[in-house]
Structure 1
Amino acid sequence: MHYFLTNVPERTQKPRDKGFTMAMDKGLSVRQAEDFINVCGEYVDIVKLGWATSYVTPNLNDKLNVYREAGIPFYFGGTLFEAFIVRDQFDDYRKVLDKYEVPFAEVSDGSIELDHDLKCNYISKLAEQVTVLSEVGSKDAEKIIPPYKWIELMQKELDAGAWKVIGEARESGNVGLFRSSGEVRSGLVQEILTKIPFEKIIWEAPQKAQQVYFIKLMGSNVNLGNIAPEEVIPLETIRLGLRGDTFDHFLDQK
């Protein structure tokens, strides 16, 4: 940091197991990725190439090299996994991970109906190859999953070999963990936390109010995902109590 302030929360250091920021690349150019890492790399723990954007992104490997050289892991969004699965191309998906030396994989079922035992089997198989993130929650705003089911699904996916589980919100933040307005389903979140350790969850929280909610609830070192590149530094100031939304929250902490 450029100067000293007291009563600033202590942030975990990279490589982090908690306090994780997952940034969303929705189609950055190679130059934009370079600029993004130059400014924000210190605060980014992993980059997700959103949904299936890697399928159509020009100069894909050149961009991935930007992340590799910065020491920032990356992965392709869960929707790409689902696109392979619905076409019965799981082995082809595994070959893609090898071809592009992708260190992480996201296993999700937000867009397809997938038997949960089969999903856990995919997690177990992929965990032999890469580090697995699994996503719980539907992209269908009409599909409401009760809290006990979120807990059951998350625990089974962790048991199957997922490193962390992701709470679904989409890039817009208006499904899954959130109401269509973007409001947090706070009862759901707090019930999940009675059973699943907070460091095992990445909460997708693209909207500022959502980020503020999770930081106030769980502290600076909560894992947050689907953060837009231009929001990474603003998020870090929220984590540190240096933006109006959390300005008073950490002042009394020693």
Structure 2
Amino acid sequence: MDTTRLQYGMSFAYGGTGVFDTRANYPNMTVQINLFEQLLGNVYSPSELSSSVALVSVAGNDYITFVLAHLNSPAELLSGLKSFIEKVVNQIEVDLRRIRTLGVKKIAIPSLTPVWYTPALANLPESIKSIVPEKVKYHNDLLQKSVAKLNNESNHSAFTIIDYYNTFLAVFNNTGEIPGILPFKTPFIECYKNGTVCDDPKSAFFWDPIHPTQEGWKSVYKVLRTNITAALTKA
């Protein structure tokens, strides 16, 4: 292993994975933390962990998997989604606590974005799309409570939420009032579609049905930058 690159961090993420199993043979978050734990004492020293930040990115793949698995039984989807959200957030809390126990002093986790704006959900039945805002809010509310609980346990702000939800909305609604960010005229249309790239990728917020473009992420970061720095540097 090229240890000179460790200063730039290490990713244990696998695309499409979640808190629980989302794809066959893909490591869920628990397995990813196991992989991280195997490096402790060998690759990462306690002092390096204590001065590091862990980003625990939960992008919603658990919910996408749940929805797709229940598309043919909408009643079961609607009745089961609330309890599934509680199950996901409870496991996130377990995972965050474990990372803290392993020695990481600062842990950041993003809130869910307003996912009903993603091109991927454009063709879902209206009966399903209509409940998404409420369920996203429920996830984020539960996450706030879990993070407050964890910070209370540790007696300082080890855990912080990165507010993707309101930041994405601010970027979507921007008409020029946010300094340094150009408005996205058609933010909910993906740039790459059917093997063809749009004429001006910098004008697109979404690259594909789910993921933002580089320009999209730049805009999100510009809005978040000050708050992230303040949250991660306070004692």
Q: TM-score range by the shorter chain?
A: 0.3 to 0.5
More helix by share: 2
Larger radius of gyration: 2
Higher relative contact order at CA 8 Å, sep ≥6: structure 1 or structure 2?
1
Length-normalised TM-score, structure 1: 0.35
Per the normalisation by structure 2, the TM-score is 0.38
| Structure with the higher fraction of residues in strand conformation | 1
